[in-house]
Structure 1
């Protein structure tokens, strides 16, 4: 502070300079420490518990993950995991099994980084795009070794190559990864599974349709968890194509052999048990709910509304966003400048409420009412996806902050 006071000039100038520095310091601290902007950035590193469990299967992860920007997302701090851990009542680095499981944290990450594999046919990505990071390698006998499971933490070079490829394809053809086409990574970020991030699957999609897909996934995750004795349950051995929830077959076609367990635990044998699959499903639900409070995922009204029956206050959604309708650089920048004043409180409230409903063994009908009224209420001025340009909103907000 003495250094500030030593600045030459009249006292009023020194005081204005001091206040300006303090203002910037407070804003910077707010964003660096616990900004909802960070909550939408991706972080691929598994929890320490998962790393230990993986070692028993002779599987190891990278020890260091660099911060890098893929345009749509910035890979950095594990704030999704921190938000979920904090709502469970513990610090992310100090959580025990009784607080929040490694599987819940893995489920929270799953929406951003769903493990997948390439088939071995000549129409596969590894043949058509032949990126060196994804090529099949030969063993000592000269036989080709399958690429195996792809995720950022297991095969980052191949993952990045594939992400960049599908990003380019989606930019040229926004519907390239619709109708079940493409890897889970391509579909969840640029295709028909964008609802995993509380986003529309295509430009001009009606908000009611987007919300319907979000609630469809929420119902599936809740029924996998299956803690309510009054509800029918989805088993980890059930095929996705056989799940009796309206809308599922639009994304997982009839005849598809993939099971719930394979969806979540591909390449992760340490999670292949009922409890961990249930926890991962719950983590996936938390991620989707948390993402809905990012302005680059869903634009909400400035004025909040009260629901006395549910004892909640939230800002209705005016418009869902879609990756195909955004400039990728704008998406990531807007996430980094998200309003910190109210979003964290609402994210924490929604996450905490779902944790409580889970512990109370609430029925899906109870959860659906909460999600519709307190997380995904639609504005009276609701409009189709991708109508609003984020750049002016971001610029105006930055002017307001600084």
Structure 2
């Protein structure tokens, strides 16, 4: 699904952002139902925009779509959108020549944007690192990330903790997946950087709400899991809106038909100034109704400060990311 970014004036529609605003309205957070994406930006509602900075982060983990304080952002706002040139360059670094965009990959091609779209961070979009990856492995990485970010969102994990020091708990015999397996001395950020650096790239904005950015990252991952270019699920209902169930395949981005993938990212929608509280808006957007409902429930867990161990983990493992008995290893189809 698209975020409201792009190169220069050619911006994609804010699909993730408007689904998130709809969920904030429908949830116990009770965001003002008259809120629209564009007015939120124009009114400079920084405390709500912090959720959206988190939702955007999975697609922009180097924070290159926003201006730091300077000529284009003299007031040091948190949602001053840039022209996207540097983002496009780093995305292209992963796209060309089948580059190895992993932690141990090609020098110059393992930036965070390349890794998250073409390499070993594709789980940030509910996708597998490469064709043939076992679904259990993709799910393990997804659950690892959700656990870390949700605990940041709850305030259990400080934004000052170093990446190499974060461990994940498990109620199974599966191995832990600490962030030191994704970040070392040669990555940006590196293993000795903090959660703050990971989420902000040490930008100039000084009123960062780490809990909201971390929750936003969780919401992005949930939402992408219902995009057909990302994840193939069992079809539960073919009525309007379509509803989806267990995971049958985690797709992988490199090698996919880009035009088919983008069809289910909904680039043809005009969403800047729509009534996001009208959830019928999403009925014709395949997977978006499920994405909105999942986001709403995740926000409610956060509002109640429900602990990770227990109903949050169980809901994610046994419902959102439940694996079908007919699941297959990752492929590059769009279905």
Which of residues 127, 133, 136 in structure 2 aligns to 1:205?
133
Offset, 1:333: 3.0
User: What are the Cα deviations for residues 228-248 of structure 1, in whole angstroms up to 9, with x where unaligned?
Assistant: xxxxx2211111111112212
The answer for the alignment partner of 1:289 in structure 2 is: 222
| Aligned residues between the structures | 274
How has the CA–CA distance of structure 1 residues 234 and 192 changed in structure 2, closer, same or farther, with 3 Å as cutoff? same
Cα offset, 1:372, TM superposition: 1.5
Query: What secondary structure does 1:302 align onto?
Result: strand
Quote the residue 1:7 is aligned against: none
Q: Residue 187 of structure 1 aligns with which residue?
A: 115
State TM-score, norm by structure 1: 0.62
Cα deviation, 1:75-128, whole Å, max 9, x if unaligned, reads 4111211111111113334559999622111000111112269xxxxxxxxxxx
CA contact (8 A) 1:188 1:196 kept: yes
1:112 aligns with 2:45: no
1:212-231 → structure 2 map (5 Å cutoff): 212-227=140-155
- Alpha-carbon distance change, 87 to 116 in structure 1, aligned in 2, over 3 angstroms: closer
Q: How big is the shift at 1:213?
A: 0.5
| Aligned partner (choices 162, 177, 194) of residue 239 of structure 1 | 162
- Equivalence for 2:196: 261
Matched with 1:230 is: none
Bigger relative contact order, structure 1 or 2 (CA pairs below 8 A, ≥6 apart): 2
- What is the RMSD of the two structures over their aligned residues, measured on CA atoms? 3.0
- Hey, what does 2:254 align to over in structure 1? 324
Match of 1:372 among 302, 305, 317: 317
How far 1:156 moved relative to its partner? 2.2
Partner secondary structure for residue 301 of structure 1? strand
Flag the 1:205–1:264 CA change in 2: closer, same or farther, 3 A: same
Question: Within 5 A, what are the aligned runs for 1:380-395?
Answer: 380-386=325-331, 389-390=333-334, 393=335
Aligned to 2:212: 279
Structure 1: distance between partners of 2:138 and 2:62: 24
Hey, what's the Cα distance between the residues in 1 that align with 2:261 and 2:302?
32
Aligned to 2:235: 302
- Encode CA deviations 1:313-368: one digit per residue, 9 max, x unaligned: 85111000011241323322343499837623311211110111111110102211
SS for the counterpart of 1:315 is strand
Distance, in Å, in 1 between the alignment partners of 2:14 and 2:46 is 17
Point out the structure with max Rg over C-alpha.
1
Counterpart CA distance in 1 for 2:116 and 2:57 is 10
Superposed displacement of residue 157, structure 1: 2.2
Matches of 1:100 and 1:83, distance apart in 2:
17
Gaps of 5+ in 2: 26-32, 65-78, 169-175, 238-242, 269-281
Matches within 5 A, 1:20-35: none
Change (3 A) 1:237 1:208: same
Separation in 2 of the partners of 1:66 and 1:341? 24
Checking the alignment, whether the CA contact within 8 Å between 1:206 and 1:384 is kept in structure 2 is yes
Alignment correspondent of 2:205:
270
Secondary structure, aligned partner of 1:237: coil
Question: Contact 1:314–1:375 at 8 Å: present in 2 too?
Answer: no
- The match for 2:173 is none
